[in-house]
Amino acid sequence: MTGRSRFESQSDNVPAQSHSSPGVFHGPASYSSSSRGPGSFFSEFSGDLTNFFTAAGPSKQAFQSAGADFSQTQSADTHGLSGLRMSFSNDSINKLDNQSSPKLLLNLLFTIFKRHIVLSAEQLVTGNGTACFSPKFGDSSLSGFQQGCGPQVSGCQKSKYRSLDGTCNNPYKPTWGAANTPYARVKPAKYADGVQDPPVSHSGKPLPGARLVSAVLFPDADVPDPKWTLIAMQWGQIITHDLSQAAGTTQAKAHSTNCCSEDKSEAIPKEYRDPTCFPIEVLHDDPHYAQHSQQCMNFVRTTTDLSQGCSQPFKPAEQIVAVTHFMDCSIIYGSSKQQTDSLREWKGGRLRMEYRHGKGFPPSSTNKSSVCVRLVTSQLTILHVVLIREHNRVAGHLNKLNPHWDDNKLFHEARRIVIAEHQHISYYEWLPIFLGWESTKHHGLTYDTHDYTHDYSEHVDPSVINGHATAAFRYFHTNIAGYLQ
């Protein structure tokens, strides 16, 4: 596919051709400067949302070819939000404002997408010029690494289709980008004890709570974008979940770990709660939670190689990605054979659906950790449903064109096409909205061509950067609308 990662050896090539189609967005104005209309997928949406993929589907040619430093901050526990505001100097606030500016966002996103798509590990460097990437599961260079951790690959079989768990995309480094492997890092981890304890300020004092900082620096405000609709934000969440679903959290797998009292009025004492708990304190004058008398937010730390017994002693813990690191629609196909098999209908290459009033929906499940029901919000659910319907639509067309194909071939060919659509929309329609068409071309993220590109490199480590999951794409949460009209 055009705009495809250098590391994706099994992606299909699709012409770099924009398709006009709809979309949705709340938040800052667009950074796009393209005169050719990138992001048309996401602007001025009207009509049936469930049909926009059909209108923006692959061309005939595509179908054919697809055969801040808080160290000086005093404790604000007894002062509330107003006390915290007073503890910041004007210079500190200005510095924080500057650090959360569009310029920082652009620089961070460029770094992430260049890392994920174009640069090798040797090319992406930190400010002092030294590469800093963590070893991956299955890396033979790791001495003393325990067997049975992460994916175990004895050999890669030649296949027309990408694997479900992300293994063998690179036959020389078969676990690169695979599910259940650690994030990469641009900068070293900054744990208080150097191994796993949450960080503290330079003075050694606890950092202000996450909810307190959020309420002070990023107060809730409705700022509708004049052009982009909410789907521009929501598509970013689709990409985030596809690339970087952290293992061990309620996002990745439902669990009963509770770090707060039943009425959420206080945190469970440390000696009585689960060691993975890291509850977030809510102050008495919180602008939202005060009205509900809530003073504790449940928060569970993510799974790490250390917690799984897969790390060397005294080595900084690395968080685990539960899905593949590739943009491969794992949000609808799963990241293992077991998950995928449970989602397939096993007829006509289709994914399982329940039909209500003639419309297909993901099947119901009593298992809270089931892939198909972890859709988080109604807005995100809509796009999940659209992608599943798109797979079945493509499978149906392929079945008509190739009645001799069996269920397995129809499924994998439809999956190839839907992944190509997803990648094309993400790089040529969505990314220029926030980075600008000329900027994405200049930085080698997109190509101004209708031809194919062949830029695969076996030296590029596709692992998602930790900062991608925890910082850069969290920006889009600020663009979520607080209500639906």
| Binding-site entries for heme b | 477
Single-letter residue type at 402: N
Question: Would you give the DSSP letter of residue 239?
Answer: H
Nearest to 381 by CA among 270, 231, 259, 260: 231
Q: How far apart are the first and last CA of the chain?
A: 37
Antiparallel, parallel or unpaired: β 354-356 and 280-281: unpaired
Dihedral through CA 336, CA 342, CA 344, CA 345, nearest 10?
Answer: 170
Count CB atoms within 10 A of the CB of residue 217.
15
Could you tell me if 420 and 5 are in contact, meaning their C-beta atoms sit under 8 angstroms apart?
no
**Given 19, 116, 241, 391, the catalytic residue:** 241
- How far is the C-alpha of 133 from the C-alpha of 189, rounded, in Å? 11
Comparing CA positions, the residue from 334, 385, 381, 348 lying closest to residue 52 is: 385
Give 267-270 contacts, CB < 8 A, sequence gap 24+: 267/296
Q: For this structure, is 284 an active site residue?
A: no
Q: Which two tokens stand for residue 139?
A: 């890396």
Q: 3-class DSSP state for residue 306?
A: coil
Q: Which residue ranges are tagged as binding site?
A: 477
- What residues does 280 pair with on adjacent strands? 297
- 363, two tokens: 């099947």
Distance CA 380, CA 134 (A): 32
**Would you call 354 helix, strand, or coil by DSSP?**
strand
Q: Can you give the length of the chain in residues?
A: 485
Active site residues: 241
